[in-house]
Amino acid sequence: MTGAKSQAAFAEAKRWMPGGVNSPVRAFAAVGGEPFFADHGEGPYLYDIDGNRYVDYILSWGPLILGHAHPDVIRAIMDTAQKGTSFGVPTELETEMARMVHHLVPAIEVVRMVNSGTEATMSALRLARAYTGRSCIVKFEGCYHGHADSLLVKAGSGVATLGLPDSPGVPQATARATLTLPYNDLDAARELFAREGEKIAAVIVEGVAGNMGGVPPKPGYLKGLEELVHSHGALFILDEVMTGFRVALGGAAARFGLHPDLITLGKVIGGGMPVGAYGGKREIMEQVAPSGPVYQAGTLSGNPLAMVAGLTTLRWLKQAEEDGLYARMEEYGQRIVDVFVETGKARGIPVWGQAIGGMFGLFFHEGPVTDFRAAKASDDRLYARFFHALLDHGVLLPPSQLESGFLSAVHTHEQLEMTEDAIRKALQSL
| Residues labelled catalytic | 144, 239, 267
Residues 6+ apart with CB under 8 A from 342: none
Cα 278 from chain centroid (whole Å): 15
On the question of a cis peptide bond just before residue 290, with omega within 30 degrees of 0, the verdict is yes
What's the CA gap between 356 and 252, in Å, rounded? 10
Class of residue 321 by CB neighbours under 10 A (exposed 0-12, middle 13-18, buried 19+): middle
Coil, helix or strand for 139? strand
Q: Which residues pair with 280 in a beta bridge?
A: 110, 262
CA distances from 106 to 5, 103, 316 (A): 48, 6, 19
What's the CA gap between 332 and 425, in Å, rounded? 19
CA distances from 12 to 2, 31, 122, 321 (A): 15, 21, 34, 44
Residues 6+ apart with CB under 8 A from 67: 41, 42, 43, 44, 59, 408, 409, 410, 411
Assess contact for 350 and 379: CB atoms under 8 A: yes
First to last CA, the chain: 16
- β-pair type (110-114, 38-42): unpaired
- Other Cβ atoms less than 10 A from the Cβ of 430: the count is 12
Assess contact for 326 and 248: CB atoms under 8 A: yes
CA distances from 223 to 20, 159, 219, 250, 421 (A): 42, 28, 9, 16, 39
Q: How many Cα neighbours within 13 Å face the side chain of 273? A: 30
